[in-house]
A and B are shown apart, each in its own frame.
Chain A
Amino acid sequence: MFDYIWLVPVFPAIGVLINGLLGRRIEAINKSLIHWIACGMIALSFIVTCIIFFQLQGLPATERIYQVTCLPWINSGILQTNIAYLIDPLSMMMAMFVIGIGFLIHVYSIGYMDGDPGRYYRFFVYLNLFMFSMINLVLANNYLLMFLGWEGVGLCSYLLIGFWFDDEANAIAGKKAFITNRVGDFAFLIGMFLLFTGLGEHGVWSLQFNEVFSNVHHLSTSQATAICLLFFIGCTAKSAQIPLYVWLPDAMAGPTPVSALIHAATMVTSGVYMIARSNILYSMSPFAMGVVATVGALTALFAASIGLVQNDIKKVLAYSTVSQLGYMFLGLGVGAFTAGMFHVLTHAFFKALMFLGSGAVIHSMHHAYHKIHSHDDAQDMRNMGGLKSKTPITFWTFLVGTIAIAGIPGFSGFFSKDEILWKAFSSPQGHWLLWLIGAVAAGMTAFYMFRLLFMTFFNDCRAGDAAEHIHESPKTMTVPLIILAFLAAVGGYLGVPHALGGSNMFHHFLEPVIGLGDGKLLQDATTAVAHGAHQAVQAAGHAAHAAAGHMAEAAGGHHGAHHPPLWVEYLLMAVSVAIACFGIFVAYFMYIVKREVPVALAEKYAFVHRLLLNKWYIDELYDLVIISPLRGFSYFLWKGVDVGVVDAIVNGVARIVGWGSSAVRYMQSGYVQSYAVSVVFGTVVLLGYYFLKAL
């Protein structure tokens, strides 16, 4: 019944083709046609997705899984992979918000990219291509097609970071993003190979999710751990976790809508999606889960620490994104897959909002500077201030986003972040230390976000002569802001926890996919139950699903007997809110009340400040340890081995032959090639003759 699912990725692809092939001509005729085509295709795609989504909603929960095979892809011998799509609650949830937010950002780009020196059509081609890849990533029903999307979004990210390529820094940032992601993809590939060979013995050659998950019990724990860890390395690149997060802050070189869409809301969360999708696989390996949780928690803290002192408005948001992604992985790692996905959703709302908001600020600043022919940095918060009254819509919407990310009760970020923190503490794989790290990072988040808010929108404007030229952005930009602000405010009510009297709709919606994995290690269950989980995934066996659901309920559900009592949950909630409020208060004190404090602090603790400002010198470390030696080694291979050894031998032999033949060189005049031919043939004939004779 969902056979038309292929329309969803095909619409953006059509946009790519039309604008890509004819964009220059179309732009010459009528520039607005370009964005009508680009936005229109995404709108069509969104409509189809909505139809499928609501059709799916109309089905009983156990039947909400469909697979549609569109095209055979790479088939060779036993390897059988298809271009095929999966429709289930998880993929549809991702598709809905990816395409929805994608559409808003397409519309926003119309205003933002207007009058840009770069080619207008090129921008929309890349953006559509990104949507195509991202849709493939979330709708794929096998790892290989997912990988197509996975690398495709990386490619678009590369192209868009380097969109203003005449600045060398942008070009380098783009390349860095691609290469870093390639390192992750390398691990992803090896993971797929292991999965392929590991399950191949049991006749699973398709890399298809349902076949893989229903056969994971054939894998040994060490195999599963290896695969999970390799996939996770892929995630650390794509979703910017330690140690491969380094590309994301630099990626802010791209146009701001790109930062919002790709580097905050959608692409960078695909790692989270991948692990949530593979929850059954991950449930087999407690060790891998532990690694995911630890890396996530550490990244959350580490990135937040860097975010404390950055002055570039987008850099702050970038580190904030890294940090928030860390939360998501923390959630996944403690088995709270739904909570992780929930944070993906709410984060997409408020972070897209804030990036677009920062884009509106930069846009206004840039235009103001442009007016007075100033080349000051339009992204440096030290040049801003007092924008509250000049750009009111941007301010109010930004405020909503800031409150949401800070974790103030009632806004979306609170619900999702709190659920993760609670699970980090309470789930069987959790630990109080993980909770503590998360809570401290939450305090830092509240601090640096409000620092950003205060520096940008409050106090007096520090833009000098440009101040009077700062105006609000056009409607195409502010309307998406308002919509996203609304979502950032209320999005959290999709998943109000039971402890607060909610029904956690979100959790129940994803249950058919994450039924068993959530909060429950598959390893503890018997193989029979593992098989049951597969049945649940396939929505084939109601009974098995019920059994799986029961297991999940008993072990990881909200009414579990061995869980800490309810008052603990309330207490932790109160503590994390208090920490956030404290962060906000400190920011208020330092950036509104006593504005000389930050400078004094920076001078007093100069070393720490410099360390944080320079991002712990990680980039420099990588350069010193990996990049420079590699380059030196390559140079040695070229000049030392290739020229120095191999060619030296070859030329040496040639020279010896040359001396020998110089004696006979006057015997005949002619072309070099005839010499060579006669020499070769003569040798052959003679040698051959003696050879045959000797036998």
Chain B
Amino acid sequence: MNELGFPIISLVTFFPIFGVLILMFIDKDAKDTLRGTAMAFALIEFIISLPLLFSFQNGTAAMQFVERYTWVKSAGLSYFVGLDGISIWIIILTTFLTPLCVLCSWTYIEKRVKEFMICLLLLETAMLGALVSLDLILFYVFWELMLIPMYLLIGVWGGDNKIYAAVKFFLYTAAGSVFMLLSIFFLYYLNHKTTGVYTFDLLELYKLNIPVSTQFWLCLAFFVSFAIKVPMFPLHTWLPDAHVQAPTAGSVILAGVLLKMGTYGFMRFAIPLFPYASHQFTPVIAVLAVIGIIYGALVAMIQPDMKKLVAYSSVSHLGYVMLGIFAFNMQGVEGGLYQMLNHGISTGALFLIVGMIYERRHTRMIKDFGGIAKVMPIYATFFMIATLSSVAVPGTNGFVGEFMILVGAFRTFPVFAVFATSGAILGALYMLWMYQRVMFQPLDKEENKVLKDLNAREIMTLLPLAILVFVMGFFPGYFLRKMDASCEHFLKTYKKQVAMYEQGLEDTGAARLAAVLEEGKLKSTLLD
């Protein structure tokens, strides 16, 4: 069955559901029991996900821990899951962030604790399911399933304008998904037409050679769907609203994992399925990514609300990820993957940090603060570490990702890369300006003078993230080596396919590919 001889992926994916079942039987007024149970399940979940990491084979690009059961044979539906170097770290990130989300909601969420925890665990299962699915319909089910708990998290536990934000979030994403689903069905049909087999098996569909014009439209549908999720400029306006209204845990999950679903989707589905169309779209995506980087940073700069500022900074950071992936070389792609993790950690930490001060002061307006470092030195330290990570100071994780992305981007599109690099200046500008106005300056507001520093629970929430910032900043090798084989494979396949289409060989396929490869041109482009 797989390396461990045990359906480890299914266990990891569905373990939170057990938690949901247990939570259902706990009295809704026993809040601490509910929190404790949810915490226990989230922690155990994290621990049982670790074997995935430790048994992961670095050297291969093949799917690992694969499980496959036929579901509806006639329709070609199957339960097909597995992971590789592209998804492994995002999976771990998900199981790692969920306990922190439970922890940060301990006192933040006081009403409907039971339902809140159920939503959180349900969301975890949905996210993990989407990350491990190798069957398109299975993926789509999980993809849509993610929406509902997230929608509830915003709509029920959100801020003043929660309904608007929740509906906007839902409709934006659902609208994108419609196109994707259509595209999936079309692909399914096309595959049957070509091979005579009905299947939603992703790995089978990879092999399909799709005519260029068809590819374009199918790809567009996937792109729109994922681009909304990322979110890419100009499809990003749901994000600031969703983030601002969501409770802290919702924001952390949203920024930490849900946005990565978009970028992950590009790497797992859109690009390998439609390599040539992706190739054609590259300039567009790169331009939008660069616009997103600069635009997000500029708009972030003038936000009066801390949370909105961090939300717009996400637009900027995810722009880097997209730019890296579409640079189509090792530095760019690995940097993009690395930056996904970094963003989960640094932005996750920032949302936690904003949430902690909100819990104390019930405001997030920058102008209501000032001089907080004086009364909350521990908080100030964590805030500074998250800030440094976010502005990519060398020695933090952010630098590793950003540097790799920019190196990669510079090799492919130097001019865009120069513009993107200017985001580093703007990033420092908005983050440090916020930090200055919130943490420094005179402590002149009476309400702020009595603020209590972080308690043990809050320190425990932030500490793992702070440690990771430096570990990932100085020892990126451990993380990157797990991505190597898969990224290399991703690039090789992509480049071969593009070369093939460019030679007009879509009909004769791989037979003549070898001849093409002999030509020096392709060889040099394969040097990554």
Q: Which A positions have Cβ atoms within 8 angstroms of B?
A: 24, 71-79, 83, 119, 122, 144, 147-148, 150-152, 155, 158, 162, 165-168, 170-172, 174-175, 178-179, 182-183, 185-186, 189-190, 193-194, 196-197, 200, 630-631, 633-635, 637-638, 641-642, 646-647, 650, 654, 672-673, 676-677, 680, 683-684, 687-688, 691-692, 695
Identify 18 residue pairs between A and B in the complex whose beta-carbon atoms are under 8 Å apart, listed by A's number: A73-B477, A76-B331, A76-B404, A79-B330, A79-B407, A148-B399, A158-B432, A193-B421, A194-B410, A637-B298, A641-B295, A642-B299, A646-B236, A646-B237, A676-B167, A677-B174, A683-B178, A687-B178
Supposing A178-B428, A673-B152 touch, asked if A168 and B441 sit within 8 A by C-beta, the answer is: yes
Cα–Cα distance between A196 and B330 once the two chains are bound (Å): 14
Query: Is B298 within 8 A of A634, CB to CB?
Result: yes
Least CB separation from B334: chain A residue: A76
Query: Is B411 within 8 A of A151, CB to CB?
Result: no
Chain A interface SS verdict (over half): helix
Query: Is A78 within 8 A of B174, CB to CB?
Result: no
In the bound complex, residues from chain A placing their C-beta under 8 Å from that of B488 are 77
Query: Is B185 within 8 A of A688, CB to CB?
Result: yes
Cα–Cα distance between A634 and B377 once the two chains are bound (Å): 32
B425 located at the interface, meaning its Cβ lies under 8 Å from any Cβ of chain A in the complex: yes
Least CB separation from A192: chain B residue: B407
Query: Is B425 within 8 A of A73, CB to CB?
Result: no
Q: List residues of B (359-398) whose CB comes within 8 Å of A's CBs.
A: 371, 373-374, 377, 388, 393-395
B433 located at the interface, meaning its Cβ lies under 8 Å from any Cβ of chain A in the complex: yes
Supposing A147-B394, A186-B424, A638-B303 touch, asked if A162 and B410 sit within 8 A by C-beta, the answer is: no
Question: Of B177, B335, B393, B425, which contacts A680 at CB under 8 A?
Answer: B177
Cα–Cα distance between A642 and B292 once the two chains are bound (Å): 12
Further contacts, 4 of them, CB under 8 A, given A119-B377, A190-B418, A642-B240 = A77-B528, A152-B393, A165-B373, A189-B406
Least CB separation from A158: chain B residue: B432
Query: Is B441 within 8 A of A647, CB to CB?
Result: no
A300–chain B nearest beta-carbon distance, Å: 27
In the bound complex, residues from chain A placing their C-beta under 8 Å from that of B335 are 76
Query: Is A650 within 8 A of B168, CB to CB?
Result: yes
Question: Of B186, B393, B410, which contacts A193 at CB under 8 A?
Answer: B410
Cα–Cα distance between A183 and B186 once the two chains are bound (Å): 49
Supposing A152-B393, A175-B436, A650-B168 touch, asked if A166 and B476 sit within 8 A by C-beta, the answer is: no
Least CB separation from A187: chain B residue: B421
In the bound complex, residues from chain A placing their C-beta under 8 Å from that of B109 are none
In the bound complex, residues from chain A placing their C-beta under 8 Å from that of B484 are 76
Least CB separation from B380: chain A residue: A165
Question: Of A172, A638, A691, which contacts B185 at CB under 8 A?
Answer: A691
In the bound complex, residues from chain A placing their C-beta under 8 Å from that of B414 are 193, 197
Q: List residues of B (274-327) whose CB comes within 8 Å of A's CBs.
A: 295, 298-299, 301-303
B273 located at the interface, meaning its Cβ lies under 8 Å from any Cβ of chain A in the complex: no
Supposing A119-B377, A165-B440, A650-B237 touch, asked if A684 and B303 sit within 8 A by C-beta, the answer is: no
Query: Is A695 within 8 A of B189, CB to CB?
Result: yes
A167–chain B nearest beta-carbon distance, Å: 7
Query: Is B171 within 8 A of A166, CB to CB?
Result: no
In the bound complex, residues from chain B placing their C-beta under 8 Å from that of A194 are 410
In the bound complex, residues from chain B placing their C-beta under 8 Å from that of A185 are 424
Query: Is B477 within 8 A of A72, CB to CB?
Result: yes
In the bound complex, residues from chain A placing their C-beta under 8 Å from that of B211 are none
B181 located at the interface, meaning its Cβ lies under 8 Å from any Cβ of chain A in the complex: yes
Query: Is A74 within 8 A of B403, CB to CB?
Result: yes
In the bound complex, residues from chain A placing their C-beta under 8 Å from that of B404 are 74, 76, 79
Query: Is B424 within 8 A of A171, CB to CB?
Result: no
Cα–Cα distance between A329 and B182 once the two chains are bound (Å): 64
Least CB separation from B188: chain A residue: A692
Cα–Cα distance between A83 and B410 once the two chains are bound (Å): 23
Cα–Cα distance between A76 and B484 once the two chains are bound (Å): 8
B295–chain A nearest beta-carbon distance, Å: 6
Query: Is B189 within 8 A of A692, CB to CB?
Result: yes
Query: Is A171 within 8 A of B441, CB to CB?
Result: yes
Cα–Cα distance between A633 and B295 once the two chains are bound (Å): 10
Supposing A189-B421, A672-B167, A688-B182 touch, asked if A637 and B299 sit within 8 A by C-beta, the answer is: yes
Cα–Cα distance between A673 and B488 once the two chains are bound (Å): 41
Question: Of B301, B388, B410, which contacts A196 at CB under 8 A?
Answer: B410
B77 located at the interface, meaning its Cβ lies under 8 Å from any Cβ of chain A in the complex: no
B132–chain A nearest beta-carbon distance, Å: 23
Least CB separation from B475: chain A residue: A71
B525 located at the interface, meaning its Cβ lies under 8 Å from any Cβ of chain A in the complex: no
In the bound complex, residues from chain A placing their C-beta under 8 Å from that of B475 are 71
Question: Of B151, B172, B442, which contacts A167 at CB under 8 A?
Answer: B442
Query: Is A673 within 8 A of B151, CB to CB?
Result: yes
B505 located at the interface, meaning its Cβ lies under 8 Å from any Cβ of chain A in the complex: no
